[in-house]
Amino acid sequence: MLEAIRDALDVMMARDPRVVVFGEDVGYFGGVFRATEGLQRKYGPSRCFDTPISETGIVGVAVGMGAYGLRPVAEIQFADYMYPGYDQIVSEAARLRYRSAGEFTAPIVVRMPCGGGIFGGQTHSQSPEALFTHVCGLKTVIPSNPHDAKGLLIAAIEDEDPVIFLEPKRVYNGPFNGHHDQPVVPWSRHPLGEVPDGHYAIPLGQAALRREGAAVTVLAYGTMVHVAEAAVEETGVDAEILDLRSLVPLDVEAIERSVKKTGRCVILHEATRTSGFGAELSAQVQERCFHHLEAPILRVTGWDTPYPHAQEWDYFPGPERVGRALRAVLEG
Amino acid sequence: MTEWGPLSLHVPEPPVRPGGTPDFHHLSIPQAGAVRRPPVDVPAHEIHDLAYSIIRVLNRRGEAVGPWDPGLDAEALKAGLRALLKTRAYDARMMMAQRQGKTSFYMPCTGEEAVACGFQTALAKGDMNFPTYRQQGLLIAQDWPLVDMMCQVFSNERDRLLGRQLPVLYSVREAGFFSVSGNLTTQFVQAVGWAMASAISGDTRVAAAWVGEGSTAESDFHAALVFASVYRPPVILNVVNNQWAISSFQGIAGGESATFAARAHGYGIPSMRVDGNDYLAVHAAACWAVARARRNLGPTLIEWVTYRAGAHSTSDDPSRYRPREESDAWPLGDPIERLKNHLIVLGAWSEERHTQLRAEIEDEVLAAAREAEAHGTLHDGPKPSTAAVFEGVYAEMPRHLREQRQEMGV
Ligand SMILES: Cc1ncc(C[n+]2csc(CCOP(=O)(O)OP(=O)(O)O)c2C)c(N)n1
């Protein structure tokens, strides 16, 4: 998925001279995860460069550049380090269009690796998507595979509004289904590891159907899509899996269609439970599908604690917990 | 178009990249003993020059010279050497432990041991450090048990942080070592708050804030300076300039335009630059700043000039962004070699005794590692409790967490 992200940046930098890429260690080194490797060499240091360690500075200058007319793509080294930049995201990027009556806008993308599964402890594992989806004026995107990552990132860069682009780092180098004791599978052996050349955009706001099924709808995004697939396979439950891909805007039609068909819904995310994005999804399903529901909607999420280091696999909502919810919702 | 032609962006570049010849010409280094030592009640504006020089005590021959010689006796110097060696041996052992899969992660302070070790001995019991992940020397210099530190690194059953925290982000209140945050610079301003609290309470304790030069870019650094400037609390504001912030050289943090010590000038805070690889200079400058704090004269900012000789962390490979030989070309040398040579010049030490001490320390570190490993390592042996995941989120566990704990079945 890293290559796909790099490819998207490369395609857009080549097509559009307004695209500039920056962040901590992003220039010469190519980022701590190497997502921007080679871009400085190819496009020069004024289009791909290192920044001081200041997330408020990174997002703040992106807003200024966007207002000028550039298309900045900023990297926050880990989503866990986004907080100093949060004011610039929430109070500035998200509202600039509204408060200036469209005179100024912030067509920026803020990329950030998120999620756990790498023994990163509480400061390299967080999934803060709900802190963004709660903010009007922002779009929030989270791919689960290389094919989508490239198409969604291109769409995000072409978007007129600020887009938060969350990259589940555990699937950077291969799909991860939550079975941490099994060997890592590379993307080359996964159908969605196939990334078309050149430019293609996946419109924001379209979920992808990952598995058709009749018994229950599973709503997931990011790493949890792969966990859902494993749980479905292991329990034999005939679930329909929707990969939401974009949380705001949200593909409510796809959700509604699926839940009305199955009558049951399980929602997954790695982030903490209380006020997580699952709460919004649950409300949407209840409002739209109440008369079709045959069981209470269930959520499987991270616990409401900081992400622990040593107890990582006790925390991560793996296939076993998801499987239990699938069975429970069928009995309910 | 103006008569000046089109604009262009300045993007700082380090003097050399991998494949090039190391070059430290930009760093101007005064002779040891050349920088004056003002009285501790000197007004900030009278020592602006100290922010553009480097305070040094040990000269090339290993002699202690000039007004900053702290006059430490041979026993104190040997204790310092021991702390430096122990810190280096500890780092080496933990780096190896990470490669052996006993921990997920480690961060060494190789090359900059003298900064933390020389500083700690200037503090008194009750003072509080707000360290970053690279100040393990603060603990080791006060003989905090290595086994305790290792148990944290191994996230085992004896980990005082219950397996929750990333290795090296220690917390040892008893040793005046504040809980290290993974988020850079957040603690720099907290140290100012702690020092303000000491002043509010009419106490005598002082605080020490720590940050890397790269992290001075964060707003929290500037917030710390303005609060320190306004309330003049007893705090030492330490900036460890080890030249690199992961792959970014110090120019990316603004080091091309002014020194990090000079950041204090706009706030009217006394500041100085000190040779961080010179144990004597470190100790002397630390004592000077601590004396100011203790006498209610307010904050001091110190830029420690040093070099990160090792990798940023076990996840990093510095040869990708700087020449491999750069560490050897670092003009301020190695802190251990320099202190050893000084002791030899004093007639209080020899190469043989040094070799013997190093061997003793390596044995001590190895024995500590064996003891810590007996309590488990990240993937092997006894582990911290799973229930600990839910404890300590709040003073009292709320209902929803009790329910989640039950759901997990612990
Ligand atoms: C708020 C925040 N942003 C980014 C990071 C990622 N990060 C960890 S260490 C580091 C470099 C810090 O360099 P410096 O302050 O010079 O200290 P050094 O590592 O050299 O001791 C970065 C960017 C972080 N931990 N926190």
Q: What is the mean pLDDT of residues A236-264?
A: 98
**B364 occurs within a structural domain:** yes
In short, whether A122's Cβ falls inside 6 Å of ligand 1 is no
> Total domain count for chain B?
1
**B35 occurs within a structural domain:** no
Q: Does the interface predicted TM-score (ipTM) exceed 0.90?
A: yes
CB A307 within 8 A of CB A125: yes
**B269 occurs within a structural domain:** yes
Taking alpha carbons only, the member of A72, A75, A114 closest to residue A93 is A72
Statement: residue B31 has pLDDT above 70: yes
d(CA B42, CA B295): 12
- Burial class from Cβ neighbours inside 10 Å (0-12, 13-18, 19+) for residue B393 reads middle
DSSP labels for A72-140? EEEE-SSGGG-HHHHHIIIIIITTHHHHTTTSS----EEEEEE--SSS-GGGS----HHHHHTSTT-EE
Residue B288, domain CATH: 3.40.50.970
d(CA B68, CA B80): 17
pLDDT in tens, B331-358: 999 999 999 999 999 999 999 999 999 9
CB B146 within 8 A of CB A103: no
**B8 occurs within a structural domain:** no
d(CA B27, CA B241): 12
**Residue in the block written with tokens 């990952």:** A210
Q: Is the peptide bond before A249 cis (omega within 30 degrees of 0)?
A: yes
pLDDT in tens, A197-243: 999 999 999 999 999 999 999 999 999 999 999 999 999 999 999 99
Q: What is the mean pLDDT of residues B292-307?
A: 98
Q: What is the mean pLDDT of residues A127-134?
A: 98
Which pTM was predicted?
0.97
**B245 occurs within a structural domain:** yes
Query: What are the b/e assignments for A236-245, b being 16+ CB within 10 Å?
Result: ebebbbbbbb
| Active-site annotation holds for A199 | no
Search chain A and give the residue with CA nearest B16: A28
- Burial class from Cβ neighbours inside 10 Å (0-12, 13-18, 19+) for residue B268 reads middle
pLDDT in tens, B356-405: 999 999 999 999 999 999 999 999 999 999 999 999 999 999 999 999 99
Taking alpha carbons only, the member of A260, A152, A157 closest to residue A204 is A152
pLDDT in tens, B148-201: 999 999 999 999 999 999 999 999 999 999 999 999 999 999 999 999 999 999
Mutate which of A77, A78, A112 for ligand 1 pocket (most atoms within 8 A of beta carbon): A77
Distance of CA A95 to the CA centre of its chain: 22
Q: To which H or E segment does residue A160 belong?
A: none
Query: What is the B185 CA–ligand 1 centroid distance (Å)?
Result: 9
What is the C-alpha radius of gyration for chain A, rounded to an integer number of angstroms?
19
Q: How far is A310 from chain B (nearest CA, A)?
A: 5
Catalogue all structural domains in chain A, each as residue range(s) with its CATH number: 2-193 (3.40.50.970), 208-331 (3.40.50.920)
pLDDT at B2: 83
Percentage of residues in chain A with pLDDT exceeding 70? 100
pLDDT bucket at A178, cuts 50 / 70 / 90: very high
Give residues 188 to 227 of A whose Cβ lies within 8 Å of B. none
d(CA A102, CA A137): 12
Cβ-defined contact of A304 to B183 (cutoff 8 Å): no
pLDDT at B69: 98
Percentage of residues in chain B with pLDDT exceeding 70? 100
Statement: residue B44 has pLDDT above 80: yes
Statement: residue A108 has pLDDT above 80: yes
Taking alpha carbons only, the member of B75, B76, B83 closest to residue B137 is B83
The rounded mean pLDDT for chain A is 98
Search chain A and give the residue with CA nearest B405: A303
Structural domain for B175, as ranges: 44-313+322-379
CB contacts < 8 A (A, B): 125
pLDDT at B120: 98
**CB contact, 8 Å: A32 with chain B?**
yes
Q: What is the torsional sign of CA A327, A313, B131, B391?
A: positive
**B343 occurs within a structural domain:** yes
Statement: residue B1 has pLDDT above 70: no
Q: What is the separation, in whole angstroms, between the first and last Cα of chain B?
A: 71
Q: What are the Cα distances from residue B179, in Å, to A248, B102, B190?
A: 37, 23, 11
Percentage of residues in chain A with pLDDT exceeding 90? 99
Query: What is the A123 CA–ligand 1 centroid distance (Å)?
Result: 12
pLDDT bucket at A332, cuts 50 / 70 / 90: confident
Cβ-defined contact of A121 to B165 (cutoff 8 Å): yes
**CB contact, 8 Å: A320 with chain B?**
no
Q: What is the mean pLDDT of residues A150-163?
A: 98
pLDDT bucket at B295, cuts 50 / 70 / 90: very high
Look at residue B278 and give its three-state secondary structure. coil
